[in-house]
C-alpha cells in the first residue's frame, strides 16, 4: 500500500525529527504548514510582499539546513521558525541600512475626510513613522507582542531573549513612540 498522502495528524515535532534525519518530504509538509504565517510576519516587518516571501523561504531553507540542531526541549517548532525569520529580517534590514516597514497600516476611507478622520490619519502616519524609526529589536518586540499577538514568553523565545528583556524592549519601545508622537505634535 503506497503512503503518498501525508497524515494530517503529524505534529510539528514529529516532522522536525524526520527532517533532522534527512526526510525532505516531511520538511516539505512542515514548510507548507508554516510558510503563510512566516510570510505574514516578514511582510509586517518589511512592508514588501515579494521581499517577505523571499525572507520566509530563506528562513525555511535555514531551518532545513539546521534541522538537526532543533531542540524540542528549548522551544516549539513554531517559535524556532519565527525566531529564524525575525532574526533574518532584522539582519537584512541592518545590512541594507533601511528601517523595517511600519506596523501601522494605512487607513482607507472612501468617505470625504472629516476633521476627526484627518487627525486620525495624521496620528496614524506619525505612529507609523515612529515605528519605522525605532531600533530593530524594539520594533520586532512590538510587532510580535501587539501585531502578532504573541504571549510574552513566546515572543521572548522568538527573539532569543528572556521575558524580562522583552519587557524592557517593550517599555523602551512605548517610550520611544510616546516621545516621537509628542515631538510630532499629533
Q: Residue 168: give its domain's CATH number.
A: 1.10.10.10
pLDDT digits (tens, 9 = 90+) for 129-181: 777 788 888 888 888 888 777 888 888 888 888 999 999 999 999 899 888 88
User: Angle at which helices 152-159 and 77-96 pack, to 10 degrees?
Assistant: 50
Asked if residue 168 is part of any domain, the answer here is yes
Q: Cell 529564524 identifies what position?
A: 84
pLDDT digits (tens, 9 = 90+) for 99-134: 444 444 433 444 455 566 566 666 767 777 777 788
Residue 119: what pLDDT?
66
Asked if residue 14 and residue 96 are part of one domain, the reply reads yes
Assess whether pLDDT exceeds 90 at residue 23: yes
User: Cα-atom radius of gyration of the chain, to the nearest Å?
Assistant: 19
Element at 37 (helix H, strand E)? helix 24-46
Asked if residue 84 is part of any domain, the answer here is yes
**Cβ-contact 179, 85 below 8 angstroms:** no
Asked if residue 78 and residue 15 are part of one domain, the reply reads yes
Asked if residue 112 and residue 182 are part of one domain, the reply reads yes
Asked if residue 4 is part of any domain, the answer here is no
Amino acid at each position: 500500500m503506497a503512503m503518498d498522502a501525508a497524515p494530517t495528524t503529524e505534529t510539528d515535532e514529529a516532522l522536525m525529527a524526520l527532517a533532522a534525519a534527512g526526510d525532505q518530504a516531511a520538511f516539505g509538509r512542515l514548510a507548507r504548514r508554516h510558510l503563510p504565517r512566516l510570510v505574514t510576519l516578514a511582510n509586517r516587518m518589511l512592508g514588501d510582499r515579494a521581499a517577505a516571501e523571499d525572507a520566509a523561504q530563506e528562513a525555511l531553507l535555514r531551518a532545513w539546513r539546521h534541522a538537526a540542531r532543533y531542540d524540542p526541549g528549548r522551544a516549539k517548532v513554531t517559535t524556532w521558525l519565527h525566531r529564524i525569520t525575525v532574526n533574518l529580517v532584522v539582519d537584512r534590514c541592518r545590512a541594507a541600512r533601511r528601517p523595517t516597514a511600519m506596523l501601522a497600516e494605512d487607513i482607507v476611507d472612501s468617505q470625504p475626510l472629516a476633521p476627526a478622520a484627518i487627525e486620525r490619519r495624521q496620528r496614524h502616519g506619525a505612529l507609523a513613522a515612529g515605528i519605522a524609526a525605532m531600533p530593530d529589536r524594539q520594533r520586532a518586540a512590538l510587532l510580535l507582542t501587539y501585531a502578532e499577538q504573541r504571549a510574552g514568553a513566546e515572543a521572548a523565545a522568538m527573539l532569543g531573549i528572556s521575558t524580562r528583556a522583552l519587557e524592557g524592549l517593550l517599555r523602551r519601545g512605548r517610550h520611544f513612540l510616546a516621545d516621537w508622537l509628542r515631538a510630532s505634535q499629533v
